Chains A and B, each alone.
Chain A
Amino acid sequence: GENVEQHPSTLSVQEGDSAVIKCTYSDSASNYFPWYKQELGKRPQLIIDIRSNVGEKKDQRIAVTLNKTAKHFSLHITETQPEDSAVYFCAARWALGQLTFGSGTQLTVLP
């Protein structure tokens, strides 16, 4: 099956700096890659996603890049704010439609 690796597991940045989280996947048939933000005790919330026919997608301060050849994709958050502090999960959609998630990145934005 699909295997998704995510790095780093923890990330601290100063407010206003950028944060980058990277993921790799194993199944070249995977075609959809969402990113979720999860605050403590809350549900995962979709923040951005990208399909395999696109190399980059941007939504305000958030962007995702996809390199199909290398099988990796990254989340970029610019001008970070304290409310960006949360756990971020990448995922890859494979086979029949289920998502395989990375292990998560705890992002802390220091004021």
Chain B
Amino acid sequence: NAGVMQNPRHLVRRRGQEARLRCSPMKGHSHVYWYRQLPEEGLKFMVYLQKENIIDESGMPKERFSAEFPKEGPSILRIQQVVRGDSAAYFCASSPGGQGQETQYFGPGTRLLVL
């Protein structure tokens, strides 16, 4: 059973470009969470999705950031017109969902560097 997969592992963008980060949850998991981690800081919640639905996006900036989890394919976190402050590690996690199924397993992360 493959774990949570993310790609790319490293992404370099110039200011103003777009960044697309992909996350494939563990097999059988229908809940996906995105977190951002700045250097030497903790993880901050961004958005929580289930298949085709955004459950909670309260941690995601209103401007330039969007997320989706389509019926088929990986979840995508999209950052438009990147700025240097977007440089961070972006982790996704997945869980099966449901009562007693809260455990979140993390992917290896995408390290975004904005030049």
Q: Are B106 and A44 neighbours in the complex by a CB distance under 8 Å?
A: yes
Interfacial chain B residues near A102, Cβ < 8 Å: 42
Number of interface residues of A (CB under 8 A): 23
Q: How far is the CB of B56 from chain A (nearest CB, A)?
A: 5
Query: What are 5 A-B residue pairs whose CB atoms fall within 8 Å in the complex?
Result: A46-B104, A93-B102, A97-B95, A101-B45, A102-B42
- A44, B103: Cα distance in complex, Å: 12
Interfacial chain A residues near B95, Cβ < 8 Å: 97
B interface residue count range (under 10 / 10 to 19 / 20 to 34 / 35 or more): 20 to 34
Q: Chain B residues in contact with chain A, CB under 8 A?
A: 31, 33, 35, 41-45, 48, 55-56, 58-59, 91, 93, 95, 97, 100, 102-109
Q: How far is the CB of B107 from chain A (nearest CB, A)?
A: 6
Q: Are B105 and A98 neighbours in the complex by a CB distance under 8 Å?
A: no
Q: Are B103 and A104 neighbours in the complex by a CB distance under 8 Å?
A: no
- A90, B103: Cα distance in complex, Å: 13
Q: Chain A residues in contact with chain B, CB under 8 A?
A: 1, 32, 34, 36, 42-46, 49, 51, 89, 93, 95-104
Q: Are B102 and A97 neighbours in the complex by a CB distance under 8 Å?
A: yes
Q: A34-B103, A100-B45, A101-B45 are in contact. List 13 more A-B contacts (CB 8 A).
A: A34-B104, A36-B106, A43-B109, A44-B43, A45-B106, A89-B43, A96-B48, A96-B56, A98-B59, A99-B104, A101-B35, A101-B43, A104-B41
Q: Are A101 and B48 neighbours in the complex by a CB distance under 8 Å?
A: no
Q: Are B55 and A97 neighbours in the complex by a CB distance under 8 Å?
A: yes
- A103, B102: Cα distance in complex, Å: 21
